[in-house]
Structure 1
Amino acid sequence: MPVSFVTFDSRWGAAVCAQTQQSKNPTQWLTNWAPEPRDVYWQNLAIPFFSLSIRKFLISIAVFALVFFYMIPIAFVQSLANLEGIERVAPFLRPVIEVKVVKSFLQGFLPGLALKLFLYILPTVLMIMSKVEGYVSLSSLERRTASKYYYFMLVNVFLGSIIAGTAFEQLDSFFHDPRTIGVAVPMKATFFMTYIMVDGWAGIANEILRVKPLVIYHLKNMFIVKTERDRERAMDPRSIALGENLPSLQLYFLLGLVYAVVTPILLPFIIVFFAFAYLVYRHQIINVYNQEYESAAAFWPQVHSRIIASLLISHVTLFGLLSTMKAAYSTPLLIFLPLLTLWFHKYCKSRFEPAFRKYPLEEAMEKDVMEHASEPSLNLKTYLANAYLHPIFHMFEQEDQKEEATIEVRIDKSEQQQQQQHVRSSHSQYEEETSAQTHYHHEERSSSQYQYQYQHQYQYQHEETHMRSEQSPPHFVYHHGVEH
């Protein structure tokens, strides 16, 4: 495997190593900050370094084609979804399709269903593309998926709804004739109001109700669940899908900035959406979803860039709107708006973005000193020994814990059976004592001797079982074997 994890006993040492060049030969090795243990995507660690650039280049071409030519696969699927295509693929359904009610329903339902299914699986397709690129952390995969999904929604939902035609025609109109955008944006305000209510408000209601996970859980419970562990897996809510939810929130923020000046009547719809979104997502993140990893606010630089892009788009839209009105002579004065916005973005990028990429040595030293003063007996090696351990070895540990639990349960059952047998033996001895006093003395000695032998044998087996379980190899032995 071309990747290895190096752990340090101090934050200062890790910060120095991660942010410096370790070899005079720059092609020998690279040192970067490692994601936290829960954030590691182990499947991509074995990808050779030289193939990463090739993978990213090919995926970039695929994403470009998906964003700008997505209507081609949609048209192909919809052509198969029409009635002629169904009759050609499945001739035995022709008598059913020829029914007037069924035919009219399918003609209006199938094309929209094909489009909806494509948009439904789109985040999954983009996540697979991000995995093929070779990123080694779950947070990086979600960030890349969110970027791809945002570009898709910007071109095909925002620009595609404003300007009719292909994606290239939309961009050509956007850059060469901003007045077209200025005229078209106010005309689409009603459409986006409806879009916010149907997709935004209904999406928030669907998020709090969690209808889709509920249906999936019951389907798994009927066909897949066989044990209690399967039931727990089926009920697992997992973490919030940032790669899908974050681009949608950024799109609504873009709509709010664009229409704040052009058509302010849309702002109440945006405010209501974000108010409900804040309450619902706050509740879901705290009480429903699991936190799979910590990424130290690594998403924020991308969110900041999307906000700046939304401001620039709103400036261009305002240019186009004013140029079509009597205020055309004052339009050149607005050229300072995008210039100031770009300057602010450059300032934030140069001053604050390094704080998200590098770890300050001053803070690392302060935390090390504070930790040694408050917890002088803290042993980090105990934690770090098994921190970056492949999940397959954690499965072995869980199996060992199950075996120990099974042994303890069996021992408890043996103790209960032994106690019940002892009670029955005492009861039988009492009956024999009342019936035959002479025979009782002889039987009492043999019974007592038998009980003593049985108890002694059981005690030996009980101690031997615990002794074997205590001598089983501990977890760090597997880690030691992997390292060697």
Structure 2
Amino acid sequence: MNAIAEKCRKVDPTDPTQGQSDTIVQLVIALALGLSAFIGFCFLRPRWKGLYAARKQQRDSADSLPVLPDTLFGWIPVLYKVTEQQVLASAGLDAFVFLSFFKMSIKLFSVMFFFALVVMAPINKRFRYLPPWGDGGDQEPTIAWYNHPQLTNMSWSNEADNDDGSKKFILPEISYLWAYFVFTYVFTALSLYFMTNYTRRIIRIRQDYLGSQTTITDRTIKLSGIPPELQSEEKIKELLEKLEIGKVENVTICRDWKKLDDMMDKRASILRRLEEAWTVHLGNQASVANAQSRVIRRSSEDYEEDESNAHESGNLLGQSHVTPYEQPRPTTKVWYGFLNLTSKKVDAIDYYEEQLRKLDDKIIEARKQQYKPTRLAFVTMDSIPACQMAVQALLDPSPMQLLAKLAPAPSDIVWPNTYQPRSSRMIRSWTVSIFIFVLTLVWLAPVGGLAGLLNLCSIQQVWPEFAKLLERHEITKALVQTGLPTLVVSLLNVAVPFLYDYLANMQGSISQGDVELSLISKNFFFTFFNVFLVFTAFGAAGKFWPALQESLKDTTKLAYRLAESIDALAIFYTNFILLQGVGLMPFRLLEFGSVALYPIMLIGAKTPRDYAELVQPPIFKYGFYLPTAILVYILCFVYSILPAGYMVLFFGLIYFVLGYFIYKYQLLYAMDHPQHATGGAWPMICHRILVGLGVFQLLMAGYIALHKSFVAATLIVPLIPLTIWYSYFYARTFEPLMKFIALRSIRRENNADFNIVDEDIGAERPAEHIRRESTTVDESREKGQKFVNPSLFVPLEKIWINGQKGSNDDSTNRGAQSPDPLGRQASTESSVSLGDTHIWRENGDNNV
């Protein structure tokens, strides 16, 4: 038997010194990566404010935030002092909830780390289980206490020699396992305590925040399952008012606007091509500086002058073929004839302007037409209490009919999905779910391969020469066995969310907020199932099916399998958290993806519109970052009591501390979050924490039972149904307050210092609940919005060249009037022609 095989036979995965060299190597790599990224960010931050302070520069909601100093580290204390009230005022509820999860984890794991270091670490150092391994696996589990001088006079059940010749005494099972039992209960209680306290706090703040604002979203319901006999605005209004819920302010029935939406998409494409043609003709005079300039608003006098001088300056932008510019007019190839087999080159500017003119005429006519209604409508009530009563009540005795739910924000709605039949959305949703299930099985191959790299014995079986090479080079072995798997798993956690984001958008959700919540769910399923359960319980992909079949036949097998392998993977998960927190987290500050893509996008940018899009703040998506954070939370719990617990908790604490400050900076200063979920991610976080608690309890029961302490293991089992009951209790008690606004929380507009119940009895609200003087971020971004498909009324953008953009707020567009209830568009437009580029405006109104 060779040396590697002999070492594999004697290896003890519970040995606290096992894998320390791997962790040291990983720590050096993580520190090198993290510190270089952090120092690089501190150096580049004041120099690239267009990227690293994009939100502060371009979003009015960030104006109230303190200005960060341009010194190397001076921004850190200023960011630390930004309060939760400022986070709410600037970034909204979703950011507040996201950061609250990190704050809760910091407090919880600080307490757990103390107990793990002070109590469990000494116990685990003195007592160490030797679980049954070897070929037969029949050896009785025992406890080893190495050369303890105070126990020399005790009766030993067995005696063996250590490798160094000293005696190793084997004790029968004693009360050691009861420490595991006690701390399983203690840590479970701590988790539920912190989760409940933070839930109550978030509910209180959310109710006060939403109850003190007035937005059209807070007064609007999404009414689905509308029967054919009620598919008109007048009938829906009459029905709801008969129910005496409240007065209806407006009803918008979603109609089949596909034809109109397609024309608007086509128009946007033609407009871009026209802008590219003009940019080529005029020369690339556009620059990033021009693109960053504010939108130019032209007054009505300017347009009167344009109209009066239209003939004098005719063809200002496009005289047929006589131009003052040195660059020739660009051409484009047009296909025509039988099966579009014939082509010819034409003047690109003339061609696209004519295409745009014809399409504008079609859009104007399309806005006047009547479209087929669907079973979905948005109903705006006259007050928030009326809206809340409608969504919390059953409106119709028939199943699946007249279902009222809270409406998403107008800017959050995916309008093409509103006129998709419910059956079509269901088919798309199930298709995506089935595809993700199949994809989960596909991930087994790479995940199983990575699991094989963790064990030198597995490498020995597949590639003996490579195993011998690794055995001779300790650092290379650490890099291959620990560094490479953790890096690949981390890269999977970065890459897979992009695929799942695309799939979530294909499911047919009505709002982008629903898409993001779906993305959180999908990515967590990947990280939890593939990165944790499959990696831990089933090992290599070839063992997955036999292990799964065995576990399905007897669920206790899963607990035993987890217990058998969890110690062996302690170093891997420790290094995984270390790399995620210390090594990769600072790279999020650098926005490496945006920096890497910027040169590529810059090369492809041609028009001022392209340059303007380059400097927009990147989008912060919680579904990309939250699942990994929840997985780290679960890993900290799983290992909290085991010998590696203090190391896992220490690096987990570092992960959440760094994550809190880095994400706080990005959410407030660097990145934008246009979605509007009003903190809807918090119940998802809590339910997944409870799943992790269940796994932790199941694992500890199996771990203790594996070592024949059946009484302690049996006493842990009641924790599992208790956690399931708490999940049900949480859903019934707390979730409604995370979804709805309590009527008592709603403030009347004419007396903001009292809520509607306390006002009747003359009781003033506490000072911390008094309505804020300024508007909320939701009120600011929803000002002037309506629940109407933008294709029906949005002003038709005009060409944007030389860094100057036609404003959507001026009178330069046709068809900019609000639609009538039937989805038709009245028309009182007039046009002004500047050569071949048409500038349209509405009579008598410069602000549409």
TM-score (norm 2): 0.41
Please say if residues 183 and 321 of structure 1, whose CA atoms lie closer than 8 Å, have aligned partners that are also in contact: yes
Judging changes above 3 Å, is the alpha-carbon distance between structure 1 residues 156 and 388 closer, same or farther for their aligned structure 2 residues? same
Q: Whole-Å Cα distance in 2 between the matches of residues 130 and 193 of structure 1? A: 31
Q: Whole-Å Cα distance in 2 between the matches of residues 359 and 215 of structure 1? A: 43
Q: Whole-Å Cα distance in 1 between the matches of residues 742 and 415 of structure 2? A: 28
1:158 and 2:532 matched: yes
1:139-195 residue CA offsets vs partner (Å, 9 max, x unmatched): 111111211111111121112322313444554566332222112111101111221
Match of residue 590 from structure 2: 209
Judging changes above 3 Å, is the alpha-carbon distance between structure 1 residues 310 and 171 closer, same or farther for their aligned structure 2 residues? farther
Equivalent residue letter for 1:128: Y
Match of residue 845 from structure 2: none
1:139 and 2:479 matched: no
Match of residue 305 from structure 1: 687
The structural deviation recorded for 1:243 is 1.4
Equivalent residue letter for 1:219: I
817, 832, 842: which is aligned to 1:477? 817
Q: Please tell me the root mean square deviation across aligned C-alpha atoms, in Å.
A: 3.8
433, 440, 464: which is aligned to 1:60? 433
Q: Whole-Å Cα distance in 2 between the matches of residues 247 and 407 of structure 1? A: 42
Judging changes above 3 Å, is the alpha-carbon distance between structure 1 residues 170 and 234 closer, same or farther for their aligned structure 2 residues? farther
Counting only pairs closer than 5 Å after superposition, residues 373-392 of structure 1 correspond to structure 2 as 386-392=785-791
Please say if residues 11 and 368 of structure 1, whose CA atoms lie closer than 8 Å, have aligned partners that are also in contact: no
SS at match of 2:638: helix
Match of residue 503 from structure 2: 129
551, 556, 574: which is aligned to 1:176? 556
| Range moving further from structure 2, 134-143 or 65-74 | 65-74
SS at match of 2:606: coil
Q: Whole-Å Cα distance in 2 between the matches of residues 172 and 206 of structure 1? A: 41
Match of residue 639 from structure 2: 259
Match of residue 40 from structure 1: 413
Please say if residues 385 and 476 of structure 1, whose CA atoms lie closer than 8 Å, have aligned partners that are also in contact: no
SS at match of 1:187: coil
1:385-415 residue CA offsets vs partner (Å, 9 max, x unmatched): 742343446752654999xx8899xxxxxxx
The structural deviation recorded for 1:334 is 1.0
Larger radius of gyration: 1
Please say if residues 680 and 738 of structure 2, whose CA atoms lie closer than 8 Å, have aligned partners that are also in contact: yes
1:249 and 2:629 matched: yes
Match of residue 10 from structure 1: 383
Q: Whole-Å Cα distance in 2 between the matches of residues 475 and 199 of structure 1? A: 52
1:195-239 residue CA offsets vs partner (Å, 9 max, x unmatched): 1223443321210111221011121112x2223332231232332
Judging changes above 3 Å, is the alpha-carbon distance between structure 1 residues 150 and 168 closer, same or farther for their aligned structure 2 residues? farther
The structural deviation recorded for 1:274 is 1.0
Q: Whole-Å Cα distance in 2 between the matches of residues 324 and 406 of structure 1? A: 71
1:14-61 residue CA offsets vs partner (Å, 9 max, x unmatched): 223333344454455432211012221223112101333333333222
195, 202, 226: which is aligned to 2:606? 226
Q: Whole-Å Cα distance in 1 between the matches of residues 577 and 703 of structure 2? A: 23
Judging changes above 3 Å, is the alpha-carbon distance between structure 1 residues 356 and 198 closer, same or farther for their aligned structure 2 residues? same
Q: Whole-Å Cα distance in 1 between the matches of residues 662 and 446 of structure 2? A: 35
Counting only pairs closer than 5 Å after superposition, residues 31-110 of structure 1 correspond to structure 2 as 31-71=404-444
SS at match of 1:35: coil
1:239-267 residue CA offsets vs partner (Å, 9 max, x unmatched): 21211211111111111010101231321
Q: Whole-Å Cα distance in 2 between the matches of residues 59 and 8 of structure 1? A: 35
Please say if residues 447 and 540 of structure 2, whose CA atoms lie closer than 8 Å, have aligned partners that are also in contact: no
Match of residue 36 from structure 2: none
Please say if residues 36 and 294 of structure 1, whose CA atoms lie closer than 8 Å, have aligned partners that are also in contact: yes
Judging changes above 3 Å, is the alpha-carbon distance between structure 1 residues 133 and 256 closer, same or farther for their aligned structure 2 residues? same
Judging changes above 3 Å, is the alpha-carbon distance between structure 1 residues 115 and 155 closer, same or farther for their aligned structure 2 residues? closer
Greater strand fraction, Structure 1 or Structure 2: 2
Please say if residues 385 and 479 of structure 1, whose CA atoms lie closer than 8 Å, have aligned partners that are also in contact: no
Judging changes above 3 Å, is the alpha-carbon distance between structure 1 residues 346 and 406 closer, same or farther for their aligned structure 2 residues? closer
Greater helix fraction, Structure 1 or Structure 2: 1
Judging changes above 3 Å, is the alpha-carbon distance between structure 1 residues 397 and 225 closer, same or farther for their aligned structure 2 residues? same
Q: Whole-Å Cα distance in 2 between the matches of residues 247 and 171 of structure 1? A: 24
Match of residue 101 from structure 2: none
RCO comparison, higher one (Cα < 8 Å, 6+) = 2
SS at match of 1:4: strand
324, 327, 332: which is aligned to 2:714? 332
SS at match of 2:680: coil
Judging changes above 3 Å, is the alpha-carbon distance between structure 1 residues 137 and 7 closer, same or farther for their aligned structure 2 residues? same
Q: Whole-Å Cα distance in 1 between the matches of residues 794 and 816 of structure 2? A: 14
Counting only pairs closer than 5 Å after superposition, residues 354-393 of structure 1 correspond to structure 2 as 354-364=736-746, 366-368=747-749, 370=751, 386-392=785-791
SS at match of 2:671: coil
Please say if residues 386 and 476 of structure 1, whose CA atoms lie closer than 8 Å, have aligned partners that are also in contact: no
Judging changes above 3 Å, is the alpha-carbon distance between structure 1 residues 185 and 480 closer, same or farther for their aligned structure 2 residues? same
Identity %: 21
SS at match of 2:583: helix
| Range moving further from structure 2, 169-178 or 27-36 | 169-178
Q: Whole-Å Cα distance in 1 between the matches of residues 806 and 383 of structure 2? A: 41
Judging changes above 3 Å, is the alpha-carbon distance between structure 1 residues 73 and 338 closer, same or farther for their aligned structure 2 residues? closer
Judging changes above 3 Å, is the alpha-carbon distance between structure 1 residues 397 and 21 closer, same or farther for their aligned structure 2 residues? farther
Q: Whole-Å Cα distance in 1 between the matches of residues 810 and 661 of structure 2? A: 50
SS at match of 1:330: helix
Please say if residues 39 and 138 of structure 1, whose CA atoms lie closer than 8 Å, have aligned partners that are also in contact: yes
Counting only pairs closer than 5 Å after superposition, residues 399-418 of structure 1 correspond to structure 2 as 399=798
Give ranges in structure 2 of 5+ residues lacking alignment. 1-254, 256-373, 449-479, 755-770, 825-848
Please say if residues 52 and 133 of structure 1, whose CA atoms lie closer than 8 Å, have aligned partners that are also in contact: yes
SS at match of 1:483: coil
Please say if residues 795 and 813 of structure 2, whose CA atoms lie closer than 8 Å, have aligned partners that are also in contact: no
1:105-140 residue CA offsets vs partner (Å, 9 max, x unmatched): xxx9xx999999876542232223223322111111
Q: How many residues are matched?
A: 382
The structural deviation recorded for 1:8 is 2.3
Equivalent residue letter for 2:621: A
Judging changes above 3 Å, is the alpha-carbon distance between structure 1 residues 116 and 304 closer, same or farther for their aligned structure 2 residues? closer
Q: Whole-Å Cα distance in 2 between the matches of residues 256 and 406 of structure 1? A: 53
Q: Whole-Å Cα distance in 1 between the matches of residues 820 and 381 of structure 2? A: 17
Give ranges in structure 1 of 5+ residues lacking alignment. 76-107, 409-468
SS at match of 1:32: strand
Please say if residues 159 and 170 of structure 1, whose CA atoms lie closer than 8 Å, have aligned partners that are also in contact: no
